[in-house]
Amino acid sequence: MLLLKIMAASLLILPTTLAQTTLSTAQIAKKVSPSVVVIHGKTDSGDVLGSGFIISKDGRIVTNLHVIMDTRTATVQLANGEIYDSVSVLATDERRDLAILRVPGFNLPVLEMGDSDSLTIGEPVVILGTPRGLEGTVTAGILSSVRDSGEGFKVLQTDAAVNPGNSGGPLLNKKGQAIGVVSFKLRSSENLNFAVPINYVRGLLTTLHEPMPLEQVRTQFGAISTPAQNTSTSSQSEILTEVSPAKMRSILKGMGFEFTEKTFDKSTAFYFQLNAHKITLLSDGTDMQVYAGFSDKVDLTRVNEWNANYRFGRAYVNAEGGPSLESDLDFAGGITTNTIEAFIKQFRTTLTTYLTFVTEVKPSTNVAAPIPATPASPTVDRSTPSPATAPSTPLRSYERSPSATTRIKPPVGNFAIWIDETKWKQQTAKEAGRLQFAHVNGEAWAMVITERIGIPTDGLREIALINAKSFDPNAKITFEETRIVNGRQVRALQFVGTTKGIPFRYFGYYHGGTSGTIQLVTYTIDSAFTENLAAFTEFLNGLEIMDDDLPPSSQPLSSPNTSAPTTEGLLQFNGNKMSVKYDSKKWKQTESSEVGRFTFNHRSGDGYATIIAERLTVPLDSLPDIALSNAKDADPNAKIVFWEKRSVGGVDVWFIKLASTSNGIPLIWYGYYYGGKAGTVQVLTYTGANLITEYDKDFLEFLNGFRVSEF
């Protein structure tokens, strides 16, 4: 007890130390505010407003390049009211939208820079800026993710609110250190805000040049030149909640564009040119979309890769087969003329990058991923291997031991395991979808792993080896053969590998069928393997397979039968305001233990559907990021392959195609995502990546059965 009291007493000292480095939001604001500046710039189209922060006592200031690159003159105002009229540029990074300015200051308050390479997802962050001129607003949130921008650098994503005028301000950690340089909202999704990691600023500091006048920077970056406008600072930085057609006309004229326009029901379209490309700007007063279409023929995979990796602009292929680009800007929460202008300029910059990306030639490959065929007919003779896989010598056949009288059904798949309970005892499994056993001799173990996705048996060898190497990179197969076990074909594999310095040997049976995939794996230390081999073989021979074989992975795909008449099934949910109609000859609803979750199996055995419904309304344009975030919780490498907004039954939904990996098996997901008055729903379909071509039509048919009544 005395020792515990001493330990407790010493622990009481630690929070005092931590309190010296971990600050509250109010403490951060008080500490950092003197170092945050307001940048007022004059351009040909009027005045601009942005933020920055001081990083040296002699007047070096960090901001976004877009804040100053069109300015002829600028002033920097400190929090104490001091104004510097002489502003020059020491370094710029156009790719990362960074600039380092210089004012003739002395002993200025400096903001300490943190380390953006040592961040933790979920840690608290704070944003300081000047969204309304000199008022200085503080917002707090968390670091949501560190993402690839798609342009050769990382960006920090946060849910802390970013308002017009915050551009160039600091993103701060809990110590009050700058970990990023804030940028304006790049997409319409609510609370989707970005900052450039501060370590890029550290790198930029190594490339400082002689002070450059703002006019020279303006010329260097090809500012959109327009006649000088008599626009006041107040009008440029005024917070607008709605942008009328007249206001949009004024903005475009102020930027020097010649345009035509057309009025639709609730929207106005403006047509003009950027970099000699035809542009359509469509606005309904509460948001705007900018489109560009091209005649170049492109590879669709390049368009999809852009959507998976790039944060600004959504790519698609137009009716003529050419690449197109669209970006959205939501006016919710207020917008300024400066932000709209900056958004259009960012779109202009992105056009060149986009065209280069989608039209450049990628190295081709002559190796196509094998696609398995549709499941074999139930009338196939299960005791005989198919001709495509029949070996040159007869397969050895094994039967269940008479002493194995206890039948156990795994949680997934149409399989069973027969065991001798006098030799093997079932244990509690730590993972879903698994069964665990231990031999009574205390030195042999077995596990049963089942997956919903059916993988052809001949393709399981490589997956098993990959899984083994994930634990021991030096793991290797020492024995393999195809066997007939209780009348069904399996792959028998033996592995050797080391776990925590102890050499183990594994012996397993592997099978993939229409109801899923099963792995029976027995194991012991290497030195005890021979004496346990008979017990292992007896355990493995207790495998009972009741589904149908999948054709080998080398056999070409057969198209699913679409001529059968449709028998309609109907699922209603969320107070009958939402429903999904489906073909009950293709889909079978299964039991689900979770409220608001409905699950279906495709009757061929390899396709699945899940409907997740909530009464809570989530904004429609937030759903793509939520979908990706949820996918990354299960697989950090999950990515959106393609996405677009569609109209289904008179309402807008997001169609999202996701790629992810589960237990080494690549999956493809098709989903419709809806958020509105009736609630929020995700209608998801998925299968193995190598089977998606087979299920593509049935998946889309299932999704298009979604209906919602918003009234």
**Any idea which of 245-259, 292-306, 683-697 has the lowest mean pLDDT?**
292-306
What is the rounded CA–CA span in Å between residue 708 and residue 677? 10
Cβ neighbours of residue 642 under 8 Å, at least 6 residues apart?
A: 303, 304, 307, 655, 656, 657
CATH number of 568-708: 3.40.1000.10
Rounded to an integer, the average pLDDT of 300-325 is 68
CATH number of 21-216: 2.40.10.120
pLDDT tens for each residue of 639-676: 998 888 888 888 889 999 999 887 778 889 999 999 88
Q: Does pLDDT of 493 surpass 80? A: yes
Beta partners for residue 261, in sequence order: 270
What is the rounded CA–CA span in Å between residue 194 and residue 173? 14
**Any idea which of 271-280, 380-389, 563-572 has the lowest mean pLDDT?**
380-389
- The token duo for 508 is 């397993």
Predicted pLDDT of residue 98? 92
Three-state DSSP at 369 gives coil
Q: Does pLDDT of 233 surpass 60? A: no
Q: Does pLDDT of 684 surpass 90? A: yes
- Of 228, 212, 182, the C-alpha closest to 342 is 182
Q: Look up residue 556 and give its DSSP letter.
A: P
Asked if 580 and 589 touch (Cβ cutoff 8 Å), the reply is no
Predicted pLDDT of residue 481? 85
pLDDT tens for each residue of 624-642: 888 888 888 888 888 998 8
Q: Does pLDDT of 587 surpass 80? A: yes
Q: In what order do the strands lie in the sheet with 415-419?
A: 406-408, 415-419, 543-545
Predicted pLDDT of residue 364? 32
More confident residue, 416 or 238: 416
Asked if 433 and 411 touch (Cβ cutoff 8 Å), the reply is yes
User: Which pLDDT band holds residue 508 (cuts at 50, 70, 90)?
Assistant: very high
Q: State the DSSP H helix or E strand holding residue 15, giving kind and residue range, or none if neither.
A: helix 14-19
- The token duo for 608 is 């699945």
Beta partners for residue 437, in sequence order: 426, 446
Rounded to an integer, the average pLDDT of 298-318 is 66
More confident residue, 711 or 289: 289
What is the rounded CA–CA span in Å between residue 126 and residue 172? 5
More confident residue, 409 or 558: 409
Cβ neighbours of residue 705 under 8 Å, at least 6 residues apart?
A: 580, 581, 582
User: Which pLDDT band holds residue 301 (cuts at 50, 70, 90)?
Assistant: low
**Any idea which of 57-61, 548-552, 560-564 has the lowest mean pLDDT?**
560-564
Predicted pLDDT of residue 307? 66
Predicted pLDDT of residue 200? 92
Q: How many CB atoms lie within 10 A of CB 320?
A: 11
Q: Look up residue 526 and give its DSSP letter.
A: G
User: Which pLDDT band holds residue 224 (cuts at 50, 70, 90)?
Assistant: very low
Predicted pLDDT of residue 538? 93
CA 639 from centre of chain: 4
pLDDT tens for each residue of 371-427: 223 223 233 333 333 333 333 446 778 889 989 999 999 887 889 999 999 999 998
Residue 399's Cβ-count burial label (10 Å; 0-12, 13-18, 19+) is exposed
Predicted pLDDT of residue 710? 63
What is the rounded CA–CA span in Å between residue 65 and residue 42? 15
Predicted pLDDT of residue 61? 96
Q: Does pLDDT of 311 surpass 60? A: no
User: Which residue's entry shows tokens 């909202």?
Assistant: 185
- The token duo for 314 is 């959504």
Please spell the DSSP secondary structure of 105-126, one letter per residue: -SSPPPPPB--TTS--TT-EEE
| Amino acid letter for position 394 | P
More confident residue, 439 or 528: 439
Predicted pLDDT of residue 180? 94
User: Mean pLDDT: which of 408-412, 586-590, 677-681 is highest?
Assistant: 586-590
Q: Does pLDDT of 202 surpass 70? A: yes
- In the chain, where the domains are located: 21-216, 249-359, 396-545, 568-708
| Amino acid letter for position 508 | G
Residue 452's Cβ-count burial label (10 Å; 0-12, 13-18, 19+) is buried
More confident residue, 635 or 562: 635
CATH topology identical between 21-216 and 568-708: no
Name the E strands within 11-95.
36-43, 46-54, 60-63, 73-77, 83-84, 88-93
User: Which pLDDT band holds residue 368 (cuts at 50, 70, 90)?
Assistant: very low
Asked if 666 and 659 touch (Cβ cutoff 8 Å), the reply is yes
Torsion sign over Cα 309, 313, 316, 322? negative
More confident residue, 169 or 338: 169
**CATH for 249-359, among 3.30.1460.10, 3.40.630.10, 2.30.40.10, 3.40.50.880?**
3.30.1460.10
Predicted pLDDT of residue 186? 47
Mean residue pLDDT across the chain: 78
Predicted pLDDT of residue 375? 29
Cβ neighbours of residue 594 under 8 Å, at least 6 residues apart?
A: none
Q: Tell me what percent of the residues of the chain surpass a pLDDT of 70.
A: 79
Q: Does pLDDT of 438 surpass 80? A: yes
More confident residue, 38 or 241: 38
Q: State the DSSP H helix or E strand holding residue 137, giving kind and residue range, or none if neither.
A: strand 137-148
pLDDT tens for each residue of 84-133: 999 999 999 888 889 999 999 888 999 999 999 888 888 889 988 765 44
What is the rounded CA–CA span in Å between residue 190 and residue 618? 10
CATH number of 396-545: 3.40.1000.10
Rounded to an integer, the average pLDDT of 473-487 is 86
pLDDT tens for each residue of 13-51: 223 333 335 788 888 888 998 999 999 888 877 778 889
What is the rounded CA–CA span in Å between residue 76 and residue 240? 24
Predicted pLDDT of residue 706? 92
Rounded to an integer, the average pLDDT of 206-234 is 64
Please spell the DSSP secondary structure of 233-253, one letter per residue: HHHHH--BS---HHHHHHHHH
More confident residue, 539 or 457: 539
- The token duo for 370 is 């094998």
Q: Does pLDDT of 513 surpass 70? A: yes
